[in-house]
């Protein structure tokens, strides 16, 4: 393509309302344009990227035997009433009434439609398992759409649904889908992790989220540097420290800590590192009263884990200052486990510290040199903290790293939630009617594009992973409209690359090189070739990989080899 036939729609200024980098760059690079809140048009440059992601998804779904269908966007209310979601879904479901006053919705997902199809078409266990998928436009009426296509109302999704006679068959397909999703994101050139997740509102038991790693991600995830273990930080298990607790070396003493009510203040005041200052937090007990939770000063209490303790009220509720004063007689910044008249539950890591510092349960005082089993009883221990970078991986392989992630895919073992509600059954080998077991699997195709940018960009613009770049190579000729030599060389290179099947964009606009380079950096084409008279005089063109600082002078043949284009052709 030439920019004369494939116009760029780049913007110099960052749009005011774009909060995240992918949104800014998608607007600035001319990939999308906003039509209404959370509703975008894909311009030709953006659509090329979207289609590449779509095609990778399609190929991987086909590879594992997925059958592509196309279900309608507009779905009758009756099916949603059968599943119970017409009431449950809330205002995110865009409801619409047709000219005959019948209720429909613009489908945000297709469990009901596919279950209805399958209950009509499939009658025997012999037809199972089945895996249907589609790549289709969905609508969710988000209350606050934002971040461009990252959290849009109308979006392109790959959704898949599998049907099984039993759980074992579901698990088999689920494992293949896990593989297929990994292949999709790997082929897109993205760094990602598959994270075991709570399945949330859709229901069912086991589920995994596929997260593209990016600083701007909404979720913190912990993953092993040696295995494929990954989990949301909130759900990652913190293993008890190995080995025995060090022996006590200090005597317990009560020290005045005037005005020091935080770990940081106490640590500084006493010259003791935060890891040896224990933090005591009081929460509501399961059967009334209060319960003390103790973690290391450098750790954070994990509310999800704590709320699962039998002693603790769920959901977790922290004691108020008044409750603390009434129960202990001091402020929250002076609490400690010694002599506390309530259940005390101590995080494994905190229970492993010797000679620790903690509050004295007396305003303005702390204890130092405290030891479990000597100055207070050996504690009841539990995993009640968030994991931190460097923790051992719960699977016993490697250490944990923590990065933020953007959810781009989600796979669920749904069980019989929809098939039972909607009466989707088959006859098994013995002729008995069996409710189908289901899985469902989604990839936010348009979201993948945004996530790829969040992960791959610099201050100049997008740095596309090669497999999803809108073009692989950009040719930037200097004075294309004034130099016959440049025009000839650029055209010849363009023709050569096109003939070799390389997707190439020749920028034949009559603009200054600075403008051209800025645009090409912004739209993020992986390989840039500058053709100019000076270089041609020396028999070279200038090659630069997007994201690298230095350009290289290369003779045309070496350039072609660099781009993987063989001889001949």
Site residues, a copy of itself (CB under 8 A): 5-7, 9, 33, 35-36, 39-44, 47, 50, 65, 67-76, 91-92, 94-96, 98-99, 102, 104, 106, 113, 116-117, 120-121, 127, 130, 132, 137, 139, 141, 143, 153-154, 156
CB of 98 to a copy of itself, least distance (A): 5
Which residue, 34 or 245, is less far from a copy of itself as judged by CB?
Answer: 34
Cα distance between residue 204 and residue 497, in whole Å = 50
Which residue, 46 or 337, is less far from a copy of itself as judged by CB?
Answer: 46
Tokens of 543: 């090659």
Which residue, 36 or 249, is less far from a copy of itself as judged by CB?
Answer: 36
CB of 68 to a copy of itself, least distance (A): 6
Which residue, 81 or 262, is less far from a copy of itself as judged by CB?
Answer: 81
Residue pair 74/136 in contact by the 8 Å Cβ criterion: no
Which residue, 104 or 372, is less far from a copy of itself as judged by CB?
Answer: 104
Which residue, 141 or 311, is less far from a copy of itself as judged by CB?
Answer: 141
Residues 6+ apart with CB under 8 A from 49: 31, 449, 452, 464, 468, 469, 470
CB of 41 to a copy of itself, least distance (A): 5
Which residue, 38 or 526, is less far from a copy of itself as judged by CB?
Answer: 38
- Computed over its alpha carbons, how large is the radius of gyration of the chain? 30
* DSSP letter for each residue of 2-26: BTTTS-----SSPPTT--SHHHHHH
DSSP state of 314: S
CB of 192 to a copy of itself, least distance (A): 25
Tokens of 482: 């004034």
Which residue, 39 or 202, is less far from a copy of itself as judged by CB?
Answer: 39
Residues 6+ apart with CB under 8 A from 146: 19, 23, 38
Tokens of 532: 């100019």
Q: How far is CA 480 from the centre of its chain?
A: 44
Cα distance between residue 410 and residue 294, in whole Å = 35
CB of 73 to a copy of itself, least distance (A): 6
Residues paired with residue 344 on neighbouring β-strands, in sequence order: 292
CB count in 10 Å sphere of residue 197:
23
CB of 54 to a copy of itself, least distance (A): 11
Cα distance between residue 47 and residue 527, in whole Å = 20
Which residue, 116 or 347, is less far from a copy of itself as judged by CB?
Answer: 116
Which residue, 11 or 321, is less far from a copy of itself as judged by CB?
Answer: 11
Residues 6+ apart with CB under 8 A from 443: 57, 157, 158, 181, 184, 210, 408, 409
For 218-244, give one letter per residue: b (16+ CB within 10 A) or e.
ebbbbbbeeeebbbbbbbbebbeeeee
CB of 47 to a copy of itself, least distance (A): 5
Which residue, 197 or 497, is less far from a copy of itself as judged by CB?
Answer: 497
Torsion of CA 270, 273, 276, 277, to 10 degrees: 50
Which residue, 448 or 489, is less far from a copy of itself as judged by CB?
Answer: 448
CB of 522 to a copy of itself, least distance (A): 16
Residues 6+ apart with CB under 8 A from 17: none
Tokens of 278: 């224990």
Which residue, 101 or 459, is less far from a copy of itself as judged by CB?
Answer: 101
CB of 51 to a copy of itself, least distance (A): 8
Which residue, 67 or 485, is less far from a copy of itself as judged by CB?
Answer: 67
SS3 434: strand
Output phi, psi for 102, to 5 deg: -95, 145
CB of 74 to a copy of itself, least distance (A): 5
CB of 117 to a copy of itself, least distance (A): 6
CA distances 102 to 86, 108, 114, 514, Å, are 14, 19, 21, 58
Looking from the CA of 488 toward its CB, the CA atoms found within 13 Å total 5
CA distances 322 to 71, 85, 293, Å, are 58, 43, 18
CB of 490 to a copy of itself, least distance (A): 20
CB of 140 to a copy of itself, least distance (A): 10
Cα distance between residue 78 and residue 112, in whole Å = 10
Helix axes 44-63, 167-187, angle to 10 degrees: 140
Q: How far is CA 138 from the centre of its chain?
A: 20
CB of 43 to a copy of itself, least distance (A): 6
CB of 94 to a copy of itself, least distance (A): 6
SS3 383: coil
Which residue, 55 or 381, is less far from a copy of itself as judged by CB?
Answer: 55
Report the sign of the C-alpha dihedral through residues 515, 516, 521, 523, in that order. Answer: positive
Q: Which of 316, 278, 277, 270 is nearest to 294 (CA)?
A: 278
């Amino acid at each position: 393509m030439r920019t004369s036939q494939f116009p760029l729609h780049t913007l110099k200024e960052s749009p005011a309302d774009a909060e995240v980098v992918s949104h800014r760059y998608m607007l600035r690079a001319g990939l999308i344009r906003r039509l209404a809140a959370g509703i975008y048009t894909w311009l030709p440059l953006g659509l090329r990227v979207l289609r590449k992601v779509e095609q990778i998804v399609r190929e991987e779904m086909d590879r594992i035997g997925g059958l592509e269908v196309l279900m309608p966007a507009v779905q009758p209310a009756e099916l949603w009433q059968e599943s119970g979601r017409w009431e449950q879904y809330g205002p995110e479901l865009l409801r619409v009434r047709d000219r005959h006053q019948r209720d429909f919705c613009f489908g945000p997902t297709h469990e009901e439609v596919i279950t209805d199809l399958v209950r009509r078409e499939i009658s025997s266990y012999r037809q199972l398992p089945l895996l249907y998928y589609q790549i289709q436009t969905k609508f969710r009426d988000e209350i606050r759409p934002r971040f461009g296509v990252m959290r849009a109302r109308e979006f392109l999704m790959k959704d898949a649904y599998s049907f099984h006679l039993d759980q074992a068959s579901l698990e088999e397909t689920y494992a293949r889908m896990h593989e297929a999703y990994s292949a999709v994101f790997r082929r897109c050139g993205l760094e990602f992790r598959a994270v075991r997740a709570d399945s949330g509102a859709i229901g069912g038991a086991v589920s995994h989220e596929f997260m593209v790693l990016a600083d701007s991600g909404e979720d913190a995830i912990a993953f092993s540097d040696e295995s494929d273990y990954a989990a949301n930080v909130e759900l990652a298990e913190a293993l008890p420290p190995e080995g025995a607790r060090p022996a006590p070396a200090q005597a317990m003493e009560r020290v005045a800590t005037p005005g020091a009510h935080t770990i940081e203040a106490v640590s500084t005041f006493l010259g003791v590192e935060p890891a040896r200052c224990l933090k005591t937090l009081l929460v509501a007990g399961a059967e009334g009263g209060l319960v003390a939770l103790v973690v290391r000063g450098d750790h954070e209490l994990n509310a999800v884990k704590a709320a699962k303790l039998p002693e603790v009220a769920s959901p977790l509720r922290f004691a108020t200052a008044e409750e603390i004063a009434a129960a202990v007689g001091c402020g929250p910044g002076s609490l400690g486990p010694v002599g506390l008249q309530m259940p005390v539950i101590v995080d494994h890591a905190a229970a492993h510290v010797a000679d620790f510092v903690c509050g004295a349960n007396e305003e303005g005082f702390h204890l130092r040199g405290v030891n479990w089993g000597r100055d207070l009883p050996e504690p009841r221990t539990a995993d009640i903290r968030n994991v931190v970078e460097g923790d051992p991986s719960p699977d016993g392989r490697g250490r944990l790293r923590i990065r933020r992630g953007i959810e781009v895919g989600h796979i669920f073992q749904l069980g019989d939630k929809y098939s039972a509600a909607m009466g989707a059954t088959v006859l098994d080998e013995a002729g008995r009617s069996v409710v189908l077991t289901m899985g469902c699997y989604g990839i936010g195709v348009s979201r993948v594009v945004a996530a790829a940018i969040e992960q791959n960009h610099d201050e100049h613009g997008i740095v596309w992973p090669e497999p999803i770049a809108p073009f692989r190579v950009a040719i930037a000729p200097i004075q294309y409209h004034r130099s016959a030599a440049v025009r000839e060389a650029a055209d010849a290179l363009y023709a050569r690359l096109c003939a070799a099947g390389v997707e190439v964009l020749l920028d034949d606009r009559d603009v200054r090189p600075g403008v051209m380079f800025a645009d090409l950096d912004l739209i993020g084409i992986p390989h840039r070739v500058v053709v100019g008279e000076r270089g041609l005089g020396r028999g070279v063109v200038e090659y630069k990989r997007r994201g690298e600082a230095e350009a290289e002078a290369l003779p045309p043949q070496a350039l072609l080899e660099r781009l993987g284009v063989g001889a001949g052709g």
